[in-house]
C-alpha cells in the first residue's frame, strides 16, 4: 500500500536519493539498510512530507503523499525521526499528548505508552530535554504511536539504546506490526532489522542496490561482509 | 565628486565604523544589541568635550572617546553578558537609553537636549576613509585569527566552544569591547564632522538601524557588512528625488523587507566576497553574454 | 593500580536533580593510557558523569581529581585547557561552519599569539596559522574527512558528524578523551572501523580514553577495563571478559543475545 | 547643476520634515512657500528672475539636515534657505551654512543658540529667525504672569528631552523669579510619553502653586491638561506659543479653558484671511491646522525676498548682509526689524486667552527688558 | 499620594501588559520579537477613530471592529512578510529585521495616509473619573485594566490548557517536528498572529481613547511593552502581565518619590537588576538542556 515511484531528491548540488522505487504491502515490515550518508534518512523524510522530492511520486493507497508533513499524519503515516526531535521544553506527558494531537481521546494512548515504558509515568512531569539520550529515544517512539498510525516510519529506533532495550524495541516493533501496522524500518543494527523484516533493501549512494526478503539478505555474502561486521570478527577469532 | 557626495560618503564611512562594530558583536559573536548608538554617544560627547574644553586635537579626542566607550562597554558587559538572547537585548537597550538620558540630564556639561555646538572640525573625507580602510583590514585580520574564530565558535555553539577550551565569557567581553571601541570612534568622528551634537542623534532608532544594516549584509560576513552599509546608510539620500520625498521612508522600509524576504540570509549570507568571486561572477556573466563557450565554462565554474 | 598510574580519580561523586539521584556515590579510577569503558542502562547516569568531569554540571558531593589535582568546581573551558576533551551524545558541532573551520577553531588551544598579533597579522601569527592549517589538513586525512572539507558540518550524515566531533576534540591535544556514544548511528562495519580508529588514537597520541557506548562489539573489543553503572551506582567493574560473564550485568543491561 | 540656467534663476531651498511624525508642519510650510513662489513668479519674479523652490526632507533629524543642505548647495545651487522649523536642525544647518556662507532663516526655531553662540553670545552670522526666541517668550510670560495675572507661585511640567520646552522653562523661571515670583516645583517627562499622571500627582501633592506652566507641543498640552483635571488639579494653566494649534481644542477643549499664553503672532488677525483662503483653495487644508508655521514661513519668505531685492543680485553673502539689516519690513504677521547683534526679530508679541474654541487676543505686550 | 501613584502605575502598567501579551504570544510560538506589532496597535486606534467619526458613535462596536481588523492586518503581515521566511527556514533574526522594515514602512504609510495629526475619538470619556479612597481613577483605566486581565486569563487558558496551546508550545522549538505530530503549523501560526494582532488592535483602540490617536502611538507604547514582556520572562503570558505592571508601577513610583527627570534611568536600572537576579525574566523558565 505504500508505493514509491522513481523518487529522486537532492540538497542543492548534493544528490541524496536517485531514482528509488519500491512497494510495500499492507501489514509488512520493510527494512532499509545502508552506510552512513546512503540517503536513508532523506528517503524517510521525503515519505513523511518533510522534504519535497524533485522527481517521483509517493502513493499511500490512492493518496499521494506530499509536504507539509501534517497531511501525511492525518492519513496515518507517522515518522519517528532520526535524532529524536523530542520537544525539550515540554514535559514528558506533553510530548506524548502532542504526539496524539489528531486524536480526540488520548487516555488509551497514554495508558499504552506508560505500559510500554513504565519509567515514563514516574517521570511524566520532567522536562523532556533533561532526559537521558536513551530515555529520549524511547519517548520519541512512544510519541510516534500516540496518533494510532496505520503506517510507521522508524528511522534508527535503537539509536542510543541499551542492548537489553534494543531487544525490547525489536519485540515491540514485531508486536506493533502484529496489530496490522505496516512499518518501514531504517536500522544500523542490520542483523536485528533483517531478522524481523518481511522485505528489505540496501541503499548505497542514494540508489537501491539490492532487495529481497529479510532472510535472503541476511544470508547474502556481500551483505554479511559489508554490514554485518560482527560475524566477521567472530569468525576471524 | 562634489561636496555633497563627499559629505554623504563621509557620513557613510563614519556610520560604517559603528556598523562594523555591531557586526563583530552581532554577526560574529551572536549577541544582539539594540543600544549601541549609546556607545556612539559616549564617543561623540567625550571627544567633543575634550576638544572643546581642553583644546586637544580631534585625533586624540576621538581616541579618548574610543577609550571611554570601550571602558563603559566593558564595565557594563561584564555583568550583562551572562544574559541570553533577548534578555541581553533588553539590557543593551536599557543601557543605550540610559546613556542618552544621562546626557540629557547634564545640561551644564553636555548642553542637554539643546545640544552641543561649535565642536572643532576634524573628520574630513580622507581621514574617515583612511580610518575605515585601516579598520576593515584590522578586523579582517582579527576574524582570520584564532580570536575571531573563537568569537564565531561562541556564536555557533557555546557549550562546544567551552569544551574545546574557549573562555566564552572572555570572548563575549572581547567582542563587546571591540564593538564599543568602534562605536566610540564612529561617534567621535561624527562629532567632529557634524560639529553639533544632540542626544536625539543617538536614539534607539539609530541603534536599530545599525543592527538592521548588519543583518541585511549577512550575519558573519565582513564584506556583507561593508556592502550593506554602503547601500543602506546613504539610501535615504539616494531616495531623495523631488516630489516623491514623502514616500522616501516607505521605500526604505520596503527595500529592507524585500531584500530579506528574497535573500533570507542577508546579502552575502555568512560568506565573504572576495576578488576571486568577483572574477567568477564577471566570468560567468561574460560567458552568458558570449553564449558560445557556455558549455565548457559552466563545468569549470560549478 | 598505583596512585601514579591514575590519571583521573572519581571519588564518591553524587549528582542530584531535584528528586532524581542521577549519580549516587560513584568512585572510579582511570589508569593512564587505558581505554576505559562506561556502560549501563539508559538513564544510569553515564552522561551525567561526563558532564561533571567536564565541569558542565557541578557535583552535588564528592570530588574529581585529574593528575592528583581537584578539578570539580572549575569551569568547562578551564578543564578543557587542562587537557580533558569530549564529544557529546547529542552532537554539538559548529553547524554553520565548514568541516575545516570546525577543526581550525579547535586548534585554538595550541595557538599562543596574542590579540595584537591577530589584529596586525604579525609573522608570529602567520607561522602559527600555517602550522594550524597543516595540522587540520593532516587530521582530515587521518580521519577521512578530506572530501567533506568545505561542507557545512550541519549537513553531514550522522556518522560523519560523529567522526568530525572526535577529530575536533583530538585537535585540542587532550590527555584524556571522553567519548559519549561515538558509535551511535553506525552499522556494525562502521563500528568496527571506529574501534580500530580509537585504538590507533591511543597508540599515536598517548592519551587515555573513556568511552560510553551501547555497542558491545565496540566496547568489548577495545576496552581495557569497564565500569558498569546502574541507577546511578556502580554495579560492577572489570575486564571485558569478566563483565560479559557477570550475571548482574547481564540481567540489568546486556540481556542474552539470541 | 546646469550653469547657464542657474544664473538667470533664483534658487531657494526649504528644509523641513516632509516625512516622519512632524511632517504636518513641514507640509504647511513648504506649501506656503510653493504658493508664494508661484505668486512671485506670476508677478515677474525677484529682480526679474524666476524663483525656483527646492524642497528637502530632513525627518526632523539634524544629520539629515546637513546632508540635505550639502546637496542643496552643491548640486542645486541654492542661495538661501528657509527653515528648518526645529532648533536642533537649525543649529545643525548653520554649521553647513557657515561653511558655504549662505544664509538661512528658521520659521519656528526658537532656541537661543540658533542665532547666537552659547559661550559668548556672539551672533551666528548666517542664521536668522522670524519668530521670537525662547528668552523673549520666557520674559514675556514670566513678567505677564506675575504682573498682570497675579500669579506668585508657579509649577512647571516640561519635556526634558526637548530643547524648546527646556529653553522656555529656564527662561520663564529666570524672568518670573526676577520680578518676584517663585517656581515651586518642576517635573519632567520624556519625548513620546503619553502618561503624565505620576508627575502630575506629585505636583498636586506638593500643592503650593497658583498656576501650572506647560511649555509643550499641543499633543502633550492636551494630554497633560486632561490628566491634570482628571486628577483634580484645579489651578489655572500657563501656556506657550506652541499652544496655538486648533487641534488642541479637539483633545482638551474643556481642560484648557481660560488659559493664557503668549505668541509672536495672532492667527485670527484679519489680514491673514486672504492668505488662508488661497491656501485652503489650493491645498484643501486649513493652514491653521498646523499652528503658526505656515504664517512664519510666509514671513521668512518676505524677509528673504526683501533681502534679495535690496542686495540687487542673487549673491548669498550680499543677501545675508541685507537680511541682517532688515528694518521695519511689513510682513504678513507683523512689522519686523532684525537686530544685527542677535539676529532676533523685533516684533510685537500678543497674549492670548482660550475662550470656547477660540484663541482670543487679550493684548499686545512688550516686556520690560530692564527688569 | 502613594495610593494615587499606585493607581497611576497600575493603569499605565496594564496598557503595557495588554501589548506585552501579544509580544509574548508570538515569541512563544516563533521565538522572535515581532517588531511589526506596533503597527497593529496604531491601526487599531485609527480604525476605531474613523469608525466612530464616520459610521456610528458606538464605542463598543468600534472597539470590536478595530480588534477584528487589526487581527486581520497581523495575519496579512504574517502572510506577506514572515511566511516566506518561515517557509525557507530562515534564522529567526531575519524575521526580526523584516519586522523592523515593515514597521518603518507602515508607520510612514500611515503618516502619508492620515497625516501626523493627533485625533480624538468623537465619543470622549477620557476625562471621566471616579474616586477610590481619595485617589482618582479614570473610567478608561478601569476598563483597560479589566480588559487586560480578561485577555490575560483567556490567552493563558488557551496556551496552558488547550490542544492548540500545546501545539503552540511545541512549535516554539521545532516547527517541523510539530508538523510531524499532525499539526497544521501554518494555520497555527496564522491563528497566533490573529490573536496577537487582535490584542494589539484592542490595545490600540483603548489607547486611542485614552491618549489620542496618532501615527506613532504604536511605536511609542510597544517599546515599553517589549521590555515588559522580556522582564516578565519571554513566552510567559503571566510574566508579560507582571512585567507590564511592575514597569508601570515602578515608573510612577520613581516619578513620584525620586525624580521624574531621572525616571527612565532608574526604571531601566531596575529592569537590568531584575535580569541580574533572574536572567530569564521573572516567570521565564531557563531552557538549558543537558549536554
Ligand atoms: N540538510 C542537508 N543539506 C545538504 N546535504 C545534506 C543534508 N542532509 C543530508 N545531506 C546529505 O545527503 C546525503 C544523504 O544523507 P542522509 O542523512 O539521508 O543519510 P543516511 O543514510 O540517513 O545516513 P546516516 O546513517 O548517517 O543517518 C549525505 O551525503 C548528506 O551529506
Ligand atoms: N538536568 C537534568 N534535570 C533532571 N534530570 C536529569 C538532568 N540530567 C539528567 N537527568 C536524569 O538523570 C538520569 C541520568 O541521565 P544520563 O544522561 O546521565 O543517563 P545516561 O546514562 O547517559 O543514559 P543514556 O544511555 O540513555 O544516554 C536520567 O534519568 C535523566 O533523566
Ligand atoms: C515646532 C516648534 C515647537 C519648534 C520649537 N519652537 C523649536 O525651537 O524647536
Ligand atoms: Mg540517517
Ligand atoms: Mg547518555
A91, A127: one domain? yes
Please report all neighbours of D, defined by 3+ CB atom pairs within 8 A: B, E
**Atom of ligand 2 minimally distant from the CA of C49:** 18
- DSSP of B169-220, one letter per residue? HHHHHHHHHHHHHHHHHHHHHHHHHHS-B-GGGG-HHHHHHHHHHHHHH-TT
Cβ within 8 Å, pair A102-E290? no
Q: Which ligand is nearest to the CA of C161?
A: 1
Q: Is the pLDDT of residue A230 over 60?
A: no
Cβ within 8 Å, pair C108-B149? yes
Backbone angles phi, psi at D364, to 5 degrees: -90, 145
- Regarding the beta carbon of C158 and ligand 2, being less than 6 Å apart is answered no
Q: Are B213 and B225 in contact (CB under 8 A)?
A: yes
A71, A158: one domain? yes
Euclidean distance between CA atoms B13 and D23, whole angstroms: 29
pLDDT in the model for residue E289 = 54
For residue range A55-75, what is the model confidence (pLDDT) as tens digits? 999 999 888 998 889 999 999
pLDDT grade for B289, boundaries at 50, 70 and 90: low
Q: Are C33 and C14 in contact (CB under 8 A)?
A: no
The protein residue whose alpha carbon is closest to atom 6 in ligand 1 is C155
Residues of C in contact with A16 (CB under 8 A): none
A118, A169: one domain? no
Q: Which of C109, C119, C120 sits opposite B165 (nearest CB)?
A: C109
Last residue of a domain, one of A148, A166, A194: A148
Q: Is the pLDDT of residue E222 over 60?
A: yes
Residue A205: CATH number of its domain: 3.40.50.300
A192, A225: one domain? yes
Euclidean distance between CA atoms D320 and D306, whole angstroms: 11
Euclidean distance between CA atoms E67 and B130, whole angstroms: 54
**Atom of ligand 3 minimally distant from the CA of D106:** 8
Which CATH number applies to E2-120+127-277? 1.10.3470
Which of C207, C241, C215 shows the shortest CA–CA distance to C226?
A: C241
Euclidean distance between CA atoms E34 and C103, whole angstroms: 37
Question: Which of D85, D116, D290 for mutating ligand 3's site (highest number of atoms within 8 Å of CB)?
Answer: D85
A127, A164: one domain? no
B169-178 average pLDDT score: 94
- Regarding the beta carbon of D86 and ligand 3, being less than 6 Å apart is answered yes
Residues of C in contact with B156 (CB under 8 A): 94-97
Euclidean distance between CA atoms E289 and B137, whole angstroms: 39
Last residue of a domain, one of A148, A172, A189: A148
pLDDT mean by block of 10 residues, chain C; 258 residues: 83 91 95 94 93 94 94 93 93 92 92 90 92 93 89 87 92 94 85 88 87 93 95 94 93 78
Put simply, whether B260 touches E (Cβ < 8 Å) is: yes
A139, A169: one domain? no
For residue range A179-206, what is the model confidence (pLDDT) as tens digits? 889 999 998 888 888 889 999 999 998 9
* Domains of chain B, first to last: 3-271 (1.10.3470)
Q: Is the pLDDT of residue B37 over 60?
A: yes
Backbone angles phi, psi at B54, to 5 degrees: -110, 0
- Regarding the beta carbon of C46 and ligand 2, being less than 6 Å apart is answered yes
Comparing E285 with E258, the larger pLDDT belongs to E258
A175, A68: one domain? yes
Put simply, whether E262 touches A (Cβ < 8 Å) is: no
Nearest C-alpha of chain B: how many angstroms from E275? 7
B122-148 average pLDDT score: 94
Question: What is the tally of structural domains in chain A?
Answer: 2
All structural domains of chain E with their residue ranges: 2-120+127-277
E258-280 average pLDDT score: 83
- DSSP of chain C, one letter per residue? --GGGEEEEEEEEEEEETTEEEEEEEEEEEETT-EEEEE-STTSSHHHHHHHHTTSS--SEEEEEETTEE-TTS-HHHHHHHTEEE--SS----TTSBHHHHHHHHGGGG----HHHHHHT-HHHHHHHHHHHHHHHHHHHHHT-GGGTTSBGGGS-HHHHHHHHHHHHHTT--SEEEEESTTTT--HHHHHHHHHHHHHHHHHHT-EEEEE-S-HHHHHHH-SEEEEEETTEEEEEE-HHHHHH-HHHIIIII----
Q: Is the pLDDT of residue A98 over 90?
A: yes
Euclidean distance between CA atoms D309 and D327, whole angstroms: 14
Q: Is the pLDDT of residue B295 over 50?
A: no
Cβ within 8 Å, pair D162-B113? yes
Q: Which ligand is nearest to the CA of E290?
A: 2
Euclidean distance between CA atoms C86 and C178, whole angstroms: 4
Q: What is the mean pLDDT of chain A?
A: 88
Cβ within 8 Å, pair D229-E260? no
Question: Which of C154, C155, C157, C182 for mutating ligand 1's site (highest number of atoms within 8 Å of CB)?
Answer: C157
How many other CB atoms sit within 10 Å of the CB of residue A54?
12
B132-139 average pLDDT score: 96
Cβ within 8 Å, pair D71-B111? no
Euclidean distance between CA atoms C209 and C223, whole angstroms: 9
A170, A64: one domain? yes
Q: Strand C6-17 relative to strand A63-64: parallel, antiparallel, unpaired?
A: unpaired
Comparing E157 with B245, the larger pLDDT belongs to E157
CA angle A199, A203, A207 (to 5 degrees): 115
Cβ within 8 Å, pair C255-A167? yes
For residue range D123-146, what is the model confidence (pLDDT) as tens digits? 999 999 998 888 888 888 899 999
Q: What is the mean pLDDT of chain B?
A: 87
Euclidean distance between CA atoms A34 and A203, whole angstroms: 5
Segments of chain D with pLDDT less than 50: 1-5, 371
A28, A69: one domain? yes
Q: Is the pLDDT of residue A89 over 70?
A: yes
pLDDT in the model for residue D1 = 38
User: What's the start-to-end Cα distance of chain A, in Å?
Assistant: 45
Q: Are C220 and C191 in contact (CB under 8 A)?
A: no
- If phi > 0 it is left, if psi is from -120 to 50 it is alpha, else beta; for residue A159 that is beta
A122, A90: one domain? yes
Q: What is the 3-state secondary structure (H, E, C) of chain D?
A: CCHHHHHCEEEEEEEECCCCCCHHHHHHHHHHHHHHHHHHHHCCCECCEEEEEEEEECCCCHHHHHHHHHHHHHHCCCCEEECCCCHHHHHHHHHHHHHHCCCEEECCCCCHHHCECCCCCCECCCEEECCCCHHHHHHHHHHHHHHCCCCCEEEEEEECCCHHHHHHHHHHHHHHHHCCCEEEEEEEECCCCCCCHHHHHHHHHHCCCCEEECCCCHHHHHHHHHHHHHCCCCCEEECCHHHCCCHHHHHHCCCCCCCEEEECCCCCCHHHHHHHHHHHHHHCCCHHHHCCHHHHHHHHHHHHHHHHHHHCCCCHHHHHHHHHCCCCEECCCCEEEECCCCCCEECCCEEEEEECCEEEEEEECCCCCCC
How many other CB atoms sit within 10 Å of the CB of residue B159?
15
Euclidean distance between CA atoms C204 and C225, whole angstroms: 20
pLDDT in the model for residue B291 = 58
pLDDT in the model for residue B296 = 41
pTM across the whole model? 0.89
A168, A220: one domain? yes
**Structural domain of A109:** 84-148
Which residues on neighbouring strands pair with residue A60, listed in sequence order? A2, A63
Q: Which of E163, E174, E186 sits opposite A85 (nearest CB)?
A: E174
Q: Which of E91, E112, E269 sits opposite B246 (nearest CB)?
A: E112
A229, A163: one domain? yes
pLDDT in the model for residue C1 = 64
* Domains of chain C, first to last: 6-83+174-255 (3.40.50.300), 90-155 (no CATH)
Residues of A in contact with E179 (CB under 8 A): 49-50, 68-70, 73
pLDDT in the model for residue B300 = 35
pLDDT grade for A235, boundaries at 50, 70 and 90: very low
Cβ within 8 Å, pair E264-B97? yes
B272-297 average pLDDT score: 66
E57-69 average pLDDT score: 90
Euclidean distance between CA atoms B36 and C144, whole angstroms: 45
CA of D370 to the centre of ligand 4 (A): 91
**Atom of ligand 3 minimally distant from the CA of D217:** 3
Amino acid at each position: 500500500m505504500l508505493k514509491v515511484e522513481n523518487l529522486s531528491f537532492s540538497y542543492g548540488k548534493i544528490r541524496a536519493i536517485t531514482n528509488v522505487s519500491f512497494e510495500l504491502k499492507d501489514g509488512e515490515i520493510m527494512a532499509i539498510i545502508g552506510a552512513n550518508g546512503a540517503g536513508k534518512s532523506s528517503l524517510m523524510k521525503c515519505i513523511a512530507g518533510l522534504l519535497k522530492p524533485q522527481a517521483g511520486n509517493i502513493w499511500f493507497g490512492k493518496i499521494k503523499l506530499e509536504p507539509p508533513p501534517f497531511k501525511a499524519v492525518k492519513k496515518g503515516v507517522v515518522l519517528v525521526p532520526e535524532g529524536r526531535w523530542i520537544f525539550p521544553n515540554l514535559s514528558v506527558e506533553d510530548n506524548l499528548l502532542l504526539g496524539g494531537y489528531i486524536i480526540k481521546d488520548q487516555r488509551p494512548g497514554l495508558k499504552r505508552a506508560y505500559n510500554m515504558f513504565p519509567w515514563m509515568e514516574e517521570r511524566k512531569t520532567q522536562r523532556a530535554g533533561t532526559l537521558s539520550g536513551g530515555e529520549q529515544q524511547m519517548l520519541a517512539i512512544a510519541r510516534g504511536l500516540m496518533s494510532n498510525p496505520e503506517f510507521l516510519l522508524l528511522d534508527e529506533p535503537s539509536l542510543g539504546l541499551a542492548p537489553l532495550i534494543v531487544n525490547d524495541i525489536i519485540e515491540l516493533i514485531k508486536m506493533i506490526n502484529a496489530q496490522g501496522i505496516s512499518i518501514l524500518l531504517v536500522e544500523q543494527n542490520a542483523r536485528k532489522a533483517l531478522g524481523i523484516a518481511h522485505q528489505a533493501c540496501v541503499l548505497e549512494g542514494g540508489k537501491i542496490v539490492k532487495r529481497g526478503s529479510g532472510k535472503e539478505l541476511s544470508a547474502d555474502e556481500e551483505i554479511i561482509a559489508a554490514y554485518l561486521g560482527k560475524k566477521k570478527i567472530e569468525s576471524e577469532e | 565628486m562634489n561636496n555633497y557626495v563627499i559629505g554623504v560618503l563621509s557620513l557613510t564611512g563614519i556610520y560604517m565604523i559603528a556598523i562594523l562594530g555591531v557586526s563583530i558583536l552581532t554577526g560574529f559573536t551572536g549577541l544582539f544589541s539594540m543600544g549601541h548608538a549609546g556607545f556612539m554617544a559616549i564617543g561623540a560627547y567625550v571627544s567633543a568635550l575634550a576638544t572643546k574644553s581642553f583644546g586637544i586635537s580631534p585625533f586624540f579626542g576621538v581616541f579618548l572617546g574610543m577609550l571611554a566607550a570601550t571602558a563603559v562597554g566593558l564595565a557594563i558587559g561584564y555583568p550583562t553578558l551572562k544574559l541570553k538572547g533577548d534578555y541581553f537585548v533588553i539590557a543593551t537597550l536599557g543601557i543605550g537609553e540610559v546613556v542618552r538620558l544621562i546626557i540629557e540630564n547634564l545640561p551644564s556639561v553636555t548642553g542637554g537636549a539643546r545640544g552641543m555646538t561649535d565642536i572643532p572640525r576634524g573628520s574630513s573625507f580622507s581621514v574617515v576613509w583612511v580610518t575605515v580602510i585601516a579598520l576593515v583590514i584590522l578586523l579582517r585580520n582579527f576574524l582570520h585569527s584564532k580570536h575571531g574564530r573563537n568569537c564565531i565558535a561562541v556564536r555557533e555553539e557555546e557549550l562546544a566552544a567551552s569544551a574545546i577550551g574557549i573562555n566564552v565569557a572572555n570572548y563575549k567581553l572581547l567582542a563587546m569591547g571591540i564593538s564599543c571601541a568602534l562605536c566610540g570612534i564612529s561617534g567621535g568622528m561624527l562629532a567632529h564632522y557634524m560639529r553639533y551634537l544632540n542626544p536625539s542623534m543617538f536614539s534607539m532608532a539609530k541603534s536599530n538601524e545599525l543592527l538592521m544594516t548588519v543583518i541585511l549584509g549577512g550575519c558573519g560576513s565582513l564584506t556583507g557588512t561593508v556592502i550593506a552599509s554602503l547601500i543602506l546608510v546613504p539610501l535615504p539620500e539616494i531616495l531623495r528625488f523631488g516630489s516623491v520625498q514623502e514616500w522616501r521612508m516607505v521605500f526604505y522600509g520596503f527595500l529592507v523587507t524585500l531584500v530579506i524576504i528574497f535573500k533570507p540570509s542577508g546579502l552575502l549570507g555568512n560568506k565573504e566576497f572576495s576578488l576571486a568571486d568577483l572574477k567568477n561572477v564577471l566570468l560567468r556573466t561574460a560567458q552568458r553574454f558570449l553564449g558560445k563557450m557556455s558549455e565548457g565554462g559552466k563545468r569549470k565554474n560549478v | 593500580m598505583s596512585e601514579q598510574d591514575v590519571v583521573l580519580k572519581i571519588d564518591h561523586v553524587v549528582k542530584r536533580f531535584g528528586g532524581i539521584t542521577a549519580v549516587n556515590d560513584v568512585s572510579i579510577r582511570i589508569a593512564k593510557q587505558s581505554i576505559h569503558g562506561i556502560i549501563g542502562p539508559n538513564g544510569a547516569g553515564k552522561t551525567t558523569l561526563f558532564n561533571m568531569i567536564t565541569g558542565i554540571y557541578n557535583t552535588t558531593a564528592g570530588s574529581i581529581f585529574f593528575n592528583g589535582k581537584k578539578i570539580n568546581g572549575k569551569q568547562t573551558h578551564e578543564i578543557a585547557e587542562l587537557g580533558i576533551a569530549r564529544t557529546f551524545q547529542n552532537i554539538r558541532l559548529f553547524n554553520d561552519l565548514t568541516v575545516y573551520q570546525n577543526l581550525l577553531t579547535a586548534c585554538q588551544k595550541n595557538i599562543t599569539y596574542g590579540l595584537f598579533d591577530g589584529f596586525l597579522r604579525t609573522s608570529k601569527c602567520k607561522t602559527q596559522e600555517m602550522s594550524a592549517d597543516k595540522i587540520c589538513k593532516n587530521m582530515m586525512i587521518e580521519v577521512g574527512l578530506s572530501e567533506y572539507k568545505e561542507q557545512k558540518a550541519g549537513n553531514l550524515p550522522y556518522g560523519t558528524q560523529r567522526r568530525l566531533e572526535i577529530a575536533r576534540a583530538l585537535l585540542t591535544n587532550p590527555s584524556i578523551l571522553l567519548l559519549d556514544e561515538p558509535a551511535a548511528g553506525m552499522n556494525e562495519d562502521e563500528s568496527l572501523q571506529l574501534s580500530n580508529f580509537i585504538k590507533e588514537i591511543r597508540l599515536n597520541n598517548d592519551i587515555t580514553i573513556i568511552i560510553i557506548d551501547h555497542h558491545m562489539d565496540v566496547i568489548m573489543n577495545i576496552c581495557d577495563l569497564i565500569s558498569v553503572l546502574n541507577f546511578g551506582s556502580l554495579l560492577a567493574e572489570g575486564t571485558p571478559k569478566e563483565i560479559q560473564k557477570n550475571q548482574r550485568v547481564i540481567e540489568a543491561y546486556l540481556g542474552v543475545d539470541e | 547643476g546646469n550653469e547657464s540656467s542657474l544664473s538667470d534663476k533664483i534658487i531657494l531651498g526649504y528644509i523641513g520634515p516632509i516625512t516622519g511624525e512632524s511632517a504636518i508642519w513641514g507640509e504647511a510650510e513648504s506649501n506656503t512657500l510653493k504658493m508664494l513662489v508661484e505668486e512671485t513668479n506670476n508677478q515677474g519674479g525677484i529682480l526679474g528672475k524666476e524663483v525656483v523652490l527646492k524642497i528637502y526632507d530632513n525627518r526632523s533629524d539634524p544629520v539629515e539636515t546637513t546632508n540635505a543642505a550639502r546637496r542643496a548647495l552643491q548640486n542645486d545651487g541654492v542661495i538661501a534657505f528657509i527653515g528648518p522649523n526645529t532648533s536642533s536642525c537649525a543649529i545643525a544647518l548653520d554649521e553647513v551654512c557657515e561653511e558655504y556662507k549662505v544664509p538661512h532663516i528658521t520659521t519656528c526655531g526658537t532656541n537661543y543658540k540658533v542665532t547666537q553662540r552659547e559661550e559668548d553670545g556672539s551672533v551666528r552670522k548666517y542664521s536668522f529667525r522670524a519668530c521670537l526666541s525662547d528668552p523673549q517668550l520666557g520674559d514675556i510670560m514670566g513678567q505677564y504672569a506675575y504682573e498682570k495675572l497675579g500669579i506668585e507661585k508657579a509649577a512647571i511640567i516640561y519635556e526634558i528631552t526637548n530643547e524648546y520646552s527646556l529653553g522656555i522653562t529656564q527662561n520663564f523661571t529666570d524672568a518670573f523669579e526676577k520680578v518676584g515670583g517663585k517656581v515651586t516645583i518642576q517635573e519632567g517627562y520624556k519625548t513620546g510619553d503619553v502618561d503624565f499622571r505620576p508627575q502630575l500627582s506629585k505636583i498636586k501633592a506638593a500643592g503650593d502653586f497658583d498656576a501650572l506652566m506647560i511649555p509643550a507641543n499641543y499633543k502633550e498640552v492636551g494630554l497633560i491638561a486632561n490628566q491634570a483635571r482628571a486628577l483634580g488639579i484645579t489651578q489655572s494653566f500657563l501656556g506657550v506659543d506652541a499652544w496655538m494649534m486648533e487641534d488642541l481644542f479637539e483633545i482638551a477643549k474643556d481642560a484648557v479653558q481660560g488659559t493664557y499664553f503668549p505668541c509672536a503672532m495672532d492667527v485670527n488677525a484679519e489680514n491673514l484671511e486672504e492668505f488662508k483662503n488661497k491656501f485652503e483653495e489650493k491645498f484643501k487644508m486649513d493652514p491653521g491646522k498646523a499652528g503658526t508655521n505656515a504664517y512664519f514661513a510666509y514671513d521668512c519668505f518676505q524677509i528673504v525676498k526683501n533681502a534679495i531685492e535690496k542686495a540687487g543680485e542673487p549673491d548669498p553673502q550680499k543677501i545675508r548682509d541685507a537680511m541682517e539689516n532688515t528694518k521695519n519690513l511689513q510682513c504678513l504677521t507683523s512689522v519686523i526689524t532684525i537686530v544685527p547683534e542677535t539676529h532676533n526679530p523685533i516684533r510685537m508679541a500678543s497674549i492670548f486667552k482660550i475662550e470656547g474654541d477660540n484663541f482670543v487676543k487679550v493684548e499686545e505686550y512688550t516686556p520690560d527688558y530692564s527688569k | 499620594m502613594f495610593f494615587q501613584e499606585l493607581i497611576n502605575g497600575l493603569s499605565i502598567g496594564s496598557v503595557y501588559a495588554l501589548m506585552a501579551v501579544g509580544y509574548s504570544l508570538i515569541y512563544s510560538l516563533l521565538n522572535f520579537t515581532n517588531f511589526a506589532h506596533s503597527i497593529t496597535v496604531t491601526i487599531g486606534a485609527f480604525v476605531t477613530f474613523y469608525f466612530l467619526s464616520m459610521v456610528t458613535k458606538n464605542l463598543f462596536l468600534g472597539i470590536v471592529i478595530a480588534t477584528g481588523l487589526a487581527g486581520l492586518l497581523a495575519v496579512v503581515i504574517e502572510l506577506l512578510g514572515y511566511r516566506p521566511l518561515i517557509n525557507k527556514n530562515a534564522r529567526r533574526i531575519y524575521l526580526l529585521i523584516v519586522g523592523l522594515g515593515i514597521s518603518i514602512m507602515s508607520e510612514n504609510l500611515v503618516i502619508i495616509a492620515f497625516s501626523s495629526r493627533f485625533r480624538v475619538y468623537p465619543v470622549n470619556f477620557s476625562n471621566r473619573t471616579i474616586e477610590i479612597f481619595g485617589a482618582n481613577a479614570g473610567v478608561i483605566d478601569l476598563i483597560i485594566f479589566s480588559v487586560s486581565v480578561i485577555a490575560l486569563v483567556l490567552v493563558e487558558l488557551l496556551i496552558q490548557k488547550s490542544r492548540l496551546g500545546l501545539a503552540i508550545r511545541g512549535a516554539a522549538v521545532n516547527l517541523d517536528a510539530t508538523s510531524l505530530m499532525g499539526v497544521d503549523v501554518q494555520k497555527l501560526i496564522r491563528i497566533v498572529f490573529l490573536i496577537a494582532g487582535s490584542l494589539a488592535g484592542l490595545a490600540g483602540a483603548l489607547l486611542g481613547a485614552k491618549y489620542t490617536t496618532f501615527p506613532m502611538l504604536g511605536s511609542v507604547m510597544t517599546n515599553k511593552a517589549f521590555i515588559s514582556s522580556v522582564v516578565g520572562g519571554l513566552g510567559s503570558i503571566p510574566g508579560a502581565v507582571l512585567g507590564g505592571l511592575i514597569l508601570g508601577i515602578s515608573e510612577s513610583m520613581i516619578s513620584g518619590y525620586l525624580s521624574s527627570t531621572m525616571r527612565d534611568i532608574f526604571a531601566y536600572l531596575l529592569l537590568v537588576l531584575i535580569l541580574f537576579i533572574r536572567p530569564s525574566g521573572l516567570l521565564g523558565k531557563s531552557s538549558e538542556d543537558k549536554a
